[in-house]
Amino acid sequence: MRIRKARSARAIGPIFALGCSMLVSHARAAETEAGMPAVTLPEALAYAHAHQPEIRAAFARIAAEKARADIPRGQWQPMVGAAAEFLGATSNNTTAAYLPTLDVDIPRIGASPGVSATTATFKPYASTFVAASLTQEIFDFGRIAAQAAAADALVVATEHASDATRLLVDFSVEEAYFAVYAAKGVYAAADGAYERSREHRDLAEAGVRSGLRSPIQLTRAEAELARFEISRIRARGNVALAQTVLAASMGSTDPAYDVSGPAPTLPELPSLREAIEKAAERDPKIREALARLSAQEKSTKAIRAELRPNLMASLTVSGRAGGASPSSNSVPQGDGFAPDVPNWDVGLVLSWPIFDGVVLARANASKADEQVRREEVFQARELEVADIERTYVRLEQARIALPALQRSLDGAVANYAQAEARFKSGLGDQVELADADSIREEAEVQLALGKFDLARARADFGRAIAEEM
């Protein structure tokens, strides 16, 4: 059984507040329920898994994290670039002038005559340059693999976070589902009290007409009937509200959903020790915290890998021309305005950033973050144990209270039967009967709420121990 406290479930508490002011007519309630779809609990959970916006957003986050994990692997793809330049510049000791670019590897080629301070000139010459370049990673000494491992670990952490979201959504659905049963139980109690009160009003009315009872008996019966009618209207409105909350928890666009069949049987309760041991292995929050610790450790390793050597292959094809007189041959045709002097080159480049203070500082900062992640793991485990113990105690309290609520109802029914018999025989009055009926209705309501508390507590406990993970 899975669980969650969602915003949509926060409205469940007022469902059972008998003093709420919601008034819903019987005609409108009948119309709402007539075309309302009904679902079983497994169907409601399956629908929520496919349509609940929080779960869909969690899946989108996983997809986005997987896309980011492909970024480091993109370094194995060849990089192709092109450039075209036109310059007007002086040309001392170079014929073709060009600006360096990150997209193209440009080898230095020059042929202008050597100059000194006395022969240098500020006369500008035209210079053009076009080139295309391909650069390919040959061997990275494990740098890319380290970066990819860190990114993959974040994907795992995001998946565990998605599991935690699913548990919370499931709890919201289960809580709302059992709330409909509880609201219907409250309505059944209010409706039964109303029907009994109507019968008593009819008896009192007959007694007044026959002269066997005083008119105040009928007045009191009318007042009690009106009170029970208001309770029934409010209870019926709370059923409609519970059905609306169920639809919202499922992520449905339909305004309301009804439950189908009897209330589901609650699963067996494991021991507290067994629950804690299993939760330590499968709780998504703990697993997410462990995954983020692993990701941080791998990120530290990836940062340090930036100081490893890197072997690249480069291929460049270029055309250039400069308008200045070279040390040999003549000025190309076009006087530097047409890049008609071709060149190409192929090479291997080994670079090694032996020392970089910024990289080392980033690695140290990442190392410090590792300790933060370790503390978060300890915190997640402590919170998990505390959550399990809290929900277990609450579940035990709800389970122990249920037999007492049943005994209370049995006593209230017996008390009502005696009061009704006394009223019909003329030994009791309307006040005594109304009090007995109120006690019975309250006992029926409390039993319905007690069953809801037990079901909700069991669902909450299942969420705490990640029962379905």
Phi first, then psi: what are they for 354, rounded to 5°?
-60, -40
What is the model's pLDDT at position 146? 95
What is the model's pLDDT at position 133? 87
Residue 249 counted as domain residue:
yes
Indicate the DSSP class of residue 9: G
Q: How far apart are CA 469 and CA 466, in angstroms?
A: 5
Please answer whether residues 80 and 132 qualify as being in contact, where contact means their C-beta atoms are separated by less than 8 angstroms. yes
Give the pLDDT confidence of 110-134 residue by residue, as tens digits. 555 555 555 666 777 787 888 888 8
Contacts with 152 (C-beta within 8 Å, 6 or more apart), sequence order: 69
pLDDT at 433 over 90: no
pLDDT at 55 over 80: yes
Range of the domain at 187: 7-73+145-299+359-464
* Structure tokens belonging to residue 80: 């192709």
Determine what percent of the chain is predicted with pLDDT higher than 90: 53
What is the model's pLDDT at position 342? 84
What is the model's pLDDT at position 112? 56
Residue 354 counted as domain residue:
no
What is the CA 315 to chain-centroid distance, rounded? 48
What is the model's pLDDT at position 178? 95
Residue 29 counted as domain residue:
yes
Residue 455 counted as domain residue:
yes
Classify residue 330 as exposed, middle or buried by CB count within 10 Å of its CB (0-12, 13-18, 19+).
exposed
CATH code at position 182: 1.20.1600.10
Q: How far is CA 77 from CA 133, 135, 137, 387, in A?
A: 14, 9, 7, 48
pLDDT at 30 over 90: no
Q: How far apart are CA 85 and CA 66, in angstroms?
A: 39
What is the model's pLDDT at position 231? 92
What is the model's pLDDT at position 82? 79
Give the pLDDT confidence of 294-309 residue by residue, as tens digits. 999 999 999 999 999 9
Residue 370 counted as domain residue:
yes
User: Worst-scoring range by mean pLDDT, 94-103, 162-171, 419-428?
Assistant: 94-103
Residue 65 counted as domain residue:
yes
Higher pLDDT, 29 or 204: 204
- State the distance between the two ends of the chain, measured CA to CA, in whole angstroms: 9
What rounded mean pLDDT belongs to the chain? 83
Classify residue 249 as exposed, middle or buried by CB count within 10 Å of its CB (0-12, 13-18, 19+).
buried
Of 145, 26, 20, 135, the C-alpha closest to 81 is 135
Residue 171 counted as domain residue:
yes
The predicted model gives 385-405 an average pLDDT of 94
What is the model's pLDDT at position 327? 65
Residues in the chain: 469
What is the model's pLDDT at position 236? 94
The predicted model gives 446-460 an average pLDDT of 95
Of 307, 188, 299, 174, the C-alpha closest to 236 is 188
Percentages (nearest 5) of helix, strand, coil residues in the chain: 65, 10, 25
Residue 419 counted as domain residue:
yes
User: Worst-scoring range by mean pLDDT, 16-20, 94-98, 288-292?
Assistant: 16-20
Of 435, 399, 394, the C-alpha closest to 418 is 435
Task: Please count the other Cβ atoms lying within 10 Å of the Cβ belonging to residue 26.
Answer: 10
Task: Please count the other Cβ atoms lying within 10 Å of the Cβ belonging to residue 429.
Answer: 17
pTM of the model: 0.75
Number of domains, the chain: 1
